[in-house]
Amino acid sequence: NAGVTQTPKFQVLKTGQSMTLQCAQDMNHEYMSWYRQDPGMGLRLIHYSVGAGITDQGEVPNGYNVSRSTTEDFPLRLLSAAPSQTSVYFCASSPPRGGYTFGSGTRLTVV
Amino acid sequence: SQQGEEDPQALSIQEGENATMNCSYKTSINNLQWYRQNSGRGLVHLILIRSNEREKHSGRLRVTLDTSKKSSSLLITASRAADTASYFCATEDRGSTLGRLYFGRGTQLTVWP
């Protein structure tokens, strides 16, 4: 039981490049979310999903896309990276109305 | 916008002392959750309290919830150096789309040996 697995752990992108942050969970959780964490800002919700085929926007969705084709996977796509997207990204999953299990994070730098 | 607001922003105590952190929020909630984050790591779920509960315990943790004041507190008794971390409250709003969890900015707790 690996929990929530995020890859990669570190990434450096050039402005304008695209990439996908991977997130997988093996706990059969219905809910999955992506957060970004910036110094002094806590965690802000980017996108979330309450089940396969269902996604919705959070507080800061601009510049990011998600899809949820399976219960296990919830990738986050950066379409055209910008320096403002330099952050630490966390994926999390939970059963309905339960506590979230977080991945260990992806530290992204956009230069 | 973030829902929860922790207070204080930073707390420094000696081992063996109790640590109390507070969280205030703005709207009606289904539940409130507390998380711990060690430096450079992901968040770890500590405790969830539902809107119809007033107090919950888990080991050395005690959480209270006052929905009339829209506030919660996390008490860590007999603190240890290993409790040094950032602590976040998070709320799931009542009536909003399920699956949306809002975090505050956190309290940085330092426990000195």
Give the gap in angstroms from C-alpha A58 to the nearest C-alpha of chain B. Answer: 7
Closest-CA distance, A43 to chain B, in angstroms, reads 6
Q: Distance from CA of residue B37 to its chain's centroid?
A: 11
pLDDT confidence of residue B96: 60
Chain B neighbors of A104, CB-CB under 8 A: 41-42
Q: How sure is the predictor about B2, in pLDDT bands with cuts at 50, 70 and 90?
A: low
Q: What is the mean pLDDT of residues A87-107?
A: 93
* pLDDT, tens only, B28-68: 888 999 999 998 889 999 999 999 999 999 999 999 999 99
Contact: A42, B103; criterion CB under 8 Å: yes
Residue B98 pLDDT level (bands cut at 50, 70, 90): low
Residues in Cβ contact with B102 at an 8 Å cutoff, skipping those fewer than 6 apart = A45, A59, B2, B3, B4, B90, B91, B92, B93
| B95, pLDDT greater than 90 | no
Interface of B with A (CB under 8 A): 1-2, 30-31, 33, 35, 41-45, 47-48, 88, 90, 92, 97-106
Contact B42 A49 (CB under 8 A): no
The string of DSSP codes covering A1-63 is ---EEEE-SEEEE-TT--EEEEEEESS--SEEEEEEEETTTEEEEEEEEEETTEEEE-SS-TT
pLDDT in tens, A39-61: 877 899 999 999 999 999 999 99
Q: What is the arithmetic mean of pLDDT over A1-23?
A: 95
For chain A, what is the largest distance between any 2 Cα atoms, rounded to a whole number of angstroms? 38
Chain B residues near residue A49 by CB distance under 8 angstroms:
99
Hey, which bits of chain B come out as E strands?
A: 5-7, 10-14, 19-24, 29-37, 43-50, 55-58, 61-66, 71-76, 85-93, 101-103, 107-112
| CA nearest to A38 within chain B | B105
A74 at B interface, C-beta within 8 A: no
What is the mean pLDDT of the segment spanning A63-91?
Answer: 97
Q: Do B42 and A50 touch (CB under 8 A)?
A: no
Contact B43, A101 (CB under 8 A): no
Instruction: For an interface test with A, give the residue of B36, B41, B87, B101 to mutate (most A CBs within 10 A).
Output: B101
